Structure formats: C-alpha cells, structure tokens
Structure 1
Amino acid sequence: MTGTANKASLTAPYTIEFPFERTVGPKTGTFLGGLREARLFGARTPSGILFPPLEFDPATGAETGELVELQPVGTVTAWTWVHSRPGDSGDPGDLLPHDFAWALIAIDGSVGSLFHAIDTGADITRMRAGMRVRARWRPDRVGTIRDIECFEDLS
C-alpha cells in the first residue's frame, strides 16, 4: 500500500443509526420507562435474563417471560476507540466531547450485550476487555437509551 506507510492509524467515518420507527410492546416499553427512572430491566428466557429485553426470545421465537430489574453494572466484552478531532465538536452521534470507547457491555446477571459509550477520561490505556463498568445517568431523563450518558470504570 503505497502512500499510507506514514499514517499512524486508519480512520473511517461512521454513523450508528436505526432509521425506522416501531411501536413498543410491554417489554420494550417497560425497558424505556425504566431508563427514564434510572433503572435497567431484562426479560426472563430459558437461557437467562435477556438484556436488553425483547418481546420474543431470539433463540426460540417464544414470548419472553417476566421482567427482572438488573443493577446498572457490567463487564466490557469488546471495544473500539474513538478519537476526537481537535477543534471539532465531534460527530453528532458521539455521546462524549472527548476521546472515548464504543463497547459491548454484558450487564451482570444477564445474557446479551448492550452497545454503549465508555468514558475513561480520554485515556485509552484504561480501556480493556474485562473492565468493570457502571452506568452514568443523565440528570434529565426522557425514556431513551441516551438516558445513560455513558458507562464509567468501576476501579
């Protein structure tokens, strides 16, 4: 690859979006209402508590069971680092105004993963798989996933 040997890293623009609308059922509706109240809910399935909850078990197609409240702590299973751009306010989808990580987070007591931001104070050396994190809630919540501002290192 000629011409790229001097680059420190490769970059690519990204957009994370789900450009559709749907009505929410009782499980998703309770999940979103819980976010407004700074609470996390998962749905019981034969394989464990599914988080985020769905109306139907993705493994079997059967309706999921009762909702279970979970603590807002978990473990990072995978991550990628996002560099902020000097003098730029960042991408409109970025949750934090400085370097951070997007990560998959396994919430304690659940199966599945949540994709969300991790704030390490812009310090990439603190980021690792296996890192224990806790949700940082926005003061003004409205019932969306952005009610979780980000997750923070528990150590």
Structure 2
Amino acid sequence: MNWDLPSPFVIDVQVLPQHIDGLGHANNAVYVQWLEQAAWAHSQALGLSVQTYQQLDRGMAVVRHELDYLASAYCDEALQVATWLVDCDRKLRSFRRFQIRRVSDGATLLRGRTTFACVELSSGKPKRMPPEFVAAYGQLTTEA
C-alpha cells in the first residue's frame, strides 16, 4: 500500500457491527479508538508498555487531535491504521501522524495528527520526558 510517509507502523483492524452507527457506517469516535490502538501498539513495539509508564510515573497524554475524515468505513471491511512519530521536542511534547486506509481499494479514509504531552501519572501535571521516552520517541521521528 502507498502511504503518505515512509516506514509506517501499521495495525490491521476489522469494522465490526458494534462500530456501525445510525447512518450505516463506522462512527467517527471509533476511528479515534483505532488511532489509540495504533499509537499504543507502536509504543509497545518501542518497549514502552503500560507497565513501563506506570513504573516511570509518566505517560503521554493527548493534548490535541486534528482529524480529516475523508471517506466512510462499512461493516466487515478490513482497514489498516498507520502511524508515524513526526516530531518530538525530547522534553514535553511529541507529535504523531495517522492514516487509515481500506485494504480492498487502498482508499484513504482518514488523515490525522495528534499532539501528546508528557505527564506525571500520579499528579496529572506536565513533566519532562524520562530518558526512556526520549530514547524511544525522540529518535524515531519522520519528517512531516
């Protein structure tokens, strides 16, 4: 599949009956869940699991989503969700891009960008990224 940027991290998802809303297509909120799944899977692949976040008392919290819904997904369709780390200040913020494509025809259904901020889990306050985050998130950025 042709992606907007090189070397994406990709997960496969299936549109299930519970994803369909009253208009007969996947609800827009489900797309956000798929983005979250891709981001978590990518973080885990980089060695940053939920347990690691808890041990470090740090996490990356969503500050902003910018999403362009371009086409609808329908029940039983196979989709691929791609993500890239496109920027990281190695202090507080990181930025991801996303693209969702339908497998059958390669159509792009969504493009998005999410801003994350590092927070201390115990207080919810912004805190500097620990070295483990810098090593994982700060070294893999792709030009946006």
Give TM-score scaled by structure 2 length: 0.26
* Larger fraction in helix: 2
* Larger fraction in strand: 2
Give TM-score scaled by structure 1 length: 0.24
Which gives a bigger RCO, structure 1 or 2 (Cα 8 Å, sep 6+)? 2
